Homo-oligomer: A and B are copies of this chain.
Amino acid sequence: MAKAIRKSLPEAGQGGPVSDRTLRGFAGYNMKRAFNAVQADLARTLEPFGLRMMTFTALVLVIDNPDLSQTQLAGALAVERSNLVVIIDDLEQAGLITRNPSPTDRRSHALRATLAGRRLCERALQAVRAHEEKLLGGLGENGAAALIAALQTVEQGNRGGE
């Protein structure tokens, strides 16, 4: 059980594990580490579909909000319009979405998913749902819901800082 501490405390210099204890008390530290783990596994989940996290998210939003503009999508994704261009380029060159002329504003593009885009997204969504079930398996049904609710509370309560 309690493996006796061999010599004395200063075993950091050699092989002992590095102590986290101060940082583990912070929610931000735990959020970063948990998100890193999730992100790595999610990237592996999406890679067979030729999607990255950003392109997957953008594709889902375009499907759920047909004909939205790049400015609107950039706002929803919390990225700059200039950075969204390459994301849209990626999805368009993959044949998953199209840039259509807006009937009301000749400056803006009305983004719409192609049939191939909707089909690929449906398959990717299944994979991501399976990935999430594996992820949250240790929390139980209501534990996962509680985590999501808590995260939304933190996000909402910390929104006016900017």
- Is B13 a contact partner of A110 (Cβ separation < 8 A)? yes
Task: Quickly give the copy total for this chain.
Answer: 2
Query: Which of A15, A27, A69 gathers most chain B CB within 10 Å?
Result: A27
Interchain CB contact under 8 A, A10 and B151: no
List B contacts of A63 (CB < 8 A). 22
Whether A155 pairs with B64 at a CB distance below 8 angstroms is: no
Contact code string A63-89 (vs B, CB < 8 Å = 1, else 0): 111111101110110100000000000
A interface majority secondary structure: helix
| Cβ–Cβ contact A151 & B27, under 8 A | yes
A115 touches B (CB below 8 Å): no
Cα(A41)–Cα(B104), bound, Å = 39
* Beta-carbon nearest neighbor of A103 in chain B: B13
Across the interface, name the chain B residue whose C-beta is closest to A152.
Answer: B30
Of B21, B38, B72, B78, the residue contacting A28 (CB under 8 A) is B38
Q: Shortest distance in angstroms between A160's beta carbon and chain B's nearest beta carbon?
A: 10
4 closest residue pairs by CB, A with B: A18-B76, A12-B65, A30-B151, A10-B75
